[in-house]
Structure 1
C-alpha cells in the first residue's frame, strides 16, 4: 500500500466524520430526523430524540475528524496511522455489530444500505493497518 492510499482512506474517513459530526452537533434535531439524508431516515425508528446523545455523537465524530486530519498531514508517522486505524476500526466494528442487532427496525433496502455503508467504513479503517511499501527494496 502507498502513502497516497492511506491519505485517500484518511480523507474519506475525515469527510464522513466532519459531515456527520458537524451535522449532529450543530443541527441535532435535523440530523436525528433526516440522517443519512437523500430522503432516508434511519434514527427515529431506534428510539426518541435525545439532544444530549445526539450532541455526544456529533462531538465524537468531530474528535475522530481531528485525529484523521492530523494523521493525513503526518501520514509518514506509522504509529499515528496505526492509532487512527485502531480508533476508527474499534468504533466501526462495534458500530456495525450494534446495527446488525437492530436491522429488524428497517426495511430490506435500509437493512442492506446499513450493512454496506458500515462495512465499507470498517474496511477503510482496517486498510490503514496495511503498511506502506518502502520505496527501496532490500
Structure 2
C-alpha cells in the first residue's frame, strides 16, 4: 500500500476530484455541450424526476480514484504514465460509446471531459 500512498498530496487529490466533478456539471450543462450530447446518447435533458444519485456517487468516486492515480504518478515523477493512462481510458470510453451507438459528438464530448478532468488534476497537483 505504501507505493500508492507515499508522498501523495491528498489535498490536491481531493481538490482535483471535486473541481473535475464541478467541471462536469458545466461541461454537460445546457450552456456548453449538454443538449447535443444528450441527443447523441438518446436521453432528454431536464426530464428526470430526481437526481441520479447512484451515477453522481459513482462519478465522484471514479474521479477521486483517477485523481489519486494522478497524485501517485506525480509523487513518483511519472507524468508520462498519466498521459498513457488517459489516452488508454479515453479510447476505451470512446469505443464503448461506439458499441452503444452514441453519436460521434457524444463520444468526443465524453472523451473531452475525461481529458479536461485529468488536465485539471495535473494542474492542481502542480499548484499545491
Q: TM-score with structure 1 length normalisation?
A: 0.43
Q: TM-score with structure 2 length normalisation?
A: 0.45
Flag the structure with larger Rg: 1
